[in-house]
Amino acid sequence: MQNYIGTATSRVDGRAKVTGAAKYAGEFNTNGLAYGSVVTSRIAKGRIARIDASEALRVQGVLDVLTHENRPRMAGTDDAYKDDVAPEGSPFRPLYDDMIRFSGQPIALVVAQEAEIARFAASLVRVEYDAEAHVTDLYRQRDAAFALETPANPIEAMFTPPRARGAGEKTFAAAKVRHEGEYHVPIEHHNPMEMYASTVMWDGDGKLTVYDKTQGVQNVQRYLCGVFDLKPDDVRVMSPFVGGGFGSGLRPQFQVVLAVLAARALERSVRVVLTRQQMYALGYRPAMIQRIGLGATADGMLDTIAHEAVTGTSQYENFYRQETGWSGLLYKCANAKYTHKLARLDLATPCDMRAPSATTAVYALESAMDELAVALALDPLELRLRCYSDRDQNTDRPYSSKSLRDCYRQGADAFGWHKRNPEPRSMRDGSELVGWGMATGIWEALQAPIAVRIVLSANGHAEVSCATSDIGTGTYTIMTQVAADMLGLPLESVSIKLGDSTLPQSPVEGGSWIAASVSNGIATTSGAVREELLRLAKQMPNSPLADATPDEVALVDSKLVSKRDQSRAVSIVDAMRHGGVDRIEQEKSTSFPDDGSHAHNTHSAIFAEVKVDEELGVIRVTRVVNAVAAGRILNAKTARSQIMGGVVWGIGMALHEETLLDHRFGRIMNANIAEYHVPVNADVHDIEVIFVDEPDAMVNPLGVKGVGEIGIVGTAAAIANAIYHATGKRVRDLPITLDKLQR
């Protein structure tokens, strides 16, 4: 029964959030809490020659200064530092030794009675370095980049380039119509609102409760056990609320290590909150250079796709994602060739950032498709329709569902695309040039094994728990909706516990996989609760459900009801009372077996309008329609918010966001949100979100695909294409700032 699934239910935690009752990692208090402030490296590469904390230690209220020289013992193997989502390589170890691997690396922690004292004293720690030559510029390392290998089995090409197909790139030169271009994306940062923070409660006897800003409490818990050789029972990690993640909290961040180090050194509770500047040192989307070559027949059928990417990683880990494969996946095309090279830089390891790789790869591909449409003198939407593919082209499999055609149609209708004059600079609004552009988006419909516990009380209240995070996406709310429907209870009778490492197993919240995973997980456990209730109901004298099987009953309106005859019903409360039980507790794991026969993806069609001041070059994104096919939508309101947020990110990517380094120092120069520009309200105008119908009985029992990431994919390309249409000028270098338009 579905009273709640799919509806625009407001966030169940909304009130707690707006009133401040919801507590974040840096807000938990306890007696005797000490505060840590981080000292970071001023050089990008070399060694610490001398570190002198004497002046800092003389400040009244300073408790200790921890460095690699005096820190408590930490593990000495790479394995101990590998978290659940670590890439290959040797993970960074905070305060481990005198090596400097990147500018902004933590090198000391000043711990004091007050946060302000710690921060002041941190400025007094004197450090001398033996600096070595560094390289932080991707363009300088481009030729030294090494190619990632292509696995023989296409299904294994998760992050590595897929195999070439057909004649690869050989057909390109002979193609009737060709486009080739190089597209540039700078380093970008997530900039979640909540700072990276950890509050470590010293519970005595070495036991710790860690409130951490993370997308995965169990990942952090396992990691801390590895780094500090702790027993699982000795460390509990909690994260009841998260102020934005976007990938920045998938891996444990260094402040949690520093806070635990200090708590163990001082045997007291410690909080470490990074400054916004310090947050920039770790975790970013790498810069990338992408070359796309597209060959087509004269009537607009693609026949060659070549995609080469060069991305940056650190000196100590190989971070890369599926940068090239999206190109060949999306459109029908017999020949394709992919190359991905990785360049080592003296920076921290990059990390996942909202729809990692699809966001950047699809920007390049969909810009190139627009350029090909121009070369073909074909409407850009028409080109996409001519190349439409019902099969995943890389693995040659059908999709479990793909309603992209409906996205194109409904999006174009809502936008009024058919009124577009194809000629660049042909549309105007006063002194502004008007441009309309479009692009396709694609992401994966992922899911991962998860466990859910439900405790149903005889008073008709259910508590549903799982260790997943809610990174702000609305997980509390969709869990409440799904559980209420599955258990036949009103929303108010369901409460959720999450973000606690002691709760049933969950993967990190990322990849847009939690909505699908946890909703189906709740369905599984609810089934077990229902069976238990049926067992009790059958024991009642003259039970109306005496001969019913589990499949024949549903929970509706706080009753167990025969699906064949609604008049045969037993109330939940009666069944439990009669059975003499005051609670039913079930915990079940759910996995998602996949025979590999079908591809699972979400899709979207984005239409953007820009207005460009002809004299000044100022660009405004005045209208975006994003039509999304993402299976069943669990909550019309929170899902829409996710897509809107993704579109806002796409506006930022197209027009604003860029992490700037001074390569002479290997240092980020705009590590603050005054100089790193993210869209503000004045940059965001009309955004219309459309969810097209996409039933999918194959992807998982509830047909859920997830919406956290698809909203950004393609958006920057749609805007870049609209800017070309408005101005006749093609900028292939993000962000598209007004100086680039004037050049």
- Residue numbers at the binding site for ligand MOS (CB under 6 A): 215, 245-247, 250, 352-354, 356, 510-511
Whether 709 is a known active-site residue: answer yes
Least distance (Å) between residue 627 CB and ligand MOS: 22
Q: What SS3 state is found at 514?
A: helix
Q: Which is closer to ligand MOS, CB of 283 or CB of 679?
A: 283
Least distance (Å) between residue 285 CB and ligand MOS: 9
* Nearest in space to 137 (alpha carbons), one of 78, 99, 187, 71: 187
Q: Which is closer to ligand MOS, CB of 161 or CB of 708?
A: 708
Helices (H), 572-659: 572-579, 636-655
Q: In what order do the strands lie in the sheet with 335-344?
A: 146-147, 335-344, 302-313, 288-296, 177-185
Q: Which is closer to ligand MOS, CB of 348 or CB of 368?
A: 348
**Range 472-476, long-range pairs (CB < 8 A, 24+ positions):** 472/242, 472/243, 472/244, 472/245, 473/509, 473/514, 473/515, 473/638, 473/642, 473/708, 474/11, 474/635, 474/638, 474/639, 474/641, 474/642, 475/509, 475/514, 475/515, 475/518, 476/11, 476/12, 476/13
Do the strands 270-273 and 197-202 form a parallel or antiparallel pair, or are they unpaired?
Answer: antiparallel
- How many residues are recorded in the chain? 743
Q: Which is closer to ligand MOS, CB of 63 or CB of 250?
A: 250
Q: Which is closer to ligand MOS, CB of 243 or CB of 245?
A: 245
Q: Which is closer to ligand MOS, CB of 335 or CB of 659?
A: 659
Least distance (Å) between residue 499 CB and ligand MOS: 15
Least distance (Å) between residue 217 CB and ligand MOS: 14
Q: Which is closer to ligand MOS, CB of 134 or CB of 251?
A: 251
Q: How far apart are CA 549 and CA 258, in angstroms?
A: 55
C-beta separation of 242 from 212 below 8 A: no
Least distance (Å) between residue 709 CB and ligand MOS: 6
Q: Which is closer to ligand MOS, CB of 215 or CB of 324?
A: 215
Q: Please give the sequence-ordered ranges of beta strands (E in DSSP) within 526-600, or none if there are none.
A: 553-556, 559-562, 569-571, 583-590
Q: Which is closer to ligand MOS, CB of 194 or CB of 432?
A: 194
Q: How far apart are CA 490 and CA 70, in angstroms?
A: 56
Give residue for tokens 């993967």: 507
Least distance (Å) between residue 508 CB and ligand MOS: 8
Q: Which is closer to ligand MOS, CB of 553 or CB of 710?
A: 710
Give residue for tokens 């969810």: 691
What residues pair up with 444 in beta bridges, in sequence order? Answer: 601
Q: How far apart are CA 72 and CA 265, in angstroms?
A: 6
Do the strands 553-556 and 270-273 form a parallel or antiparallel pair, or are they unpaired?
Answer: unpaired
Establish how many alpha carbons lie within 13 A of residue 131's alpha carbon, considering only the half-sphere containing its beta carbon. 15
| Residue 413: how many other CB atoms lie within 10 Å | 14
Least distance (Å) between residue 250 CB and ligand MOS: 5
Least distance (Å) between residue 23 CB and ligand MOS: 22
* Nearest in space to 158 (alpha carbons), one of 449, 394, 442: 394
Least distance (Å) between residue 509 CB and ligand MOS: 7
Q: Which is closer to ligand MOS, CB of 34 or CB of 250?
A: 250
Interior angle at CA 237, CA 236 and CA 241, nearest 5: 140
Q: How far apart are CA 286 and CA 102, in angstroms?
A: 14
Largest CA distance in the chain: 86
Q: What SS3 state is found at 564?
A: coil
Q: Please pick, among 188, 609, 694, 709, the residue that the annotation labels catalytic.
A: 709
Least distance (Å) between residue 241 CB and ligand MOS: 16
Residues 6+ apart with CB under 8 A from 129: 41, 42, 43, 46, 47, 48, 49, 100
C-beta separation of 351 from 284 below 8 A: yes
Q: Distance from CA of residue 24 to its chain's centroid?
A: 19
Least distance (Å) between residue 352 CB and ligand MOS: 4
Least distance (Å) between residue 475 CB and ligand MOS: 12
Do the strands 99-100 and 146-147 form a parallel or antiparallel pair, or are they unpaired?
Answer: unpaired
Residues 6+ apart with CB under 8 A from 214: 25, 220, 237, 239, 242, 249, 252, 253, 256, 469
Residues 6+ apart with CB under 8 A from 160: 148, 149, 150, 151, 320, 322, 340
Q: Which is closer to ligand MOS, CB of 510 or CB of 646?
A: 510
Active site residue ranges: 709
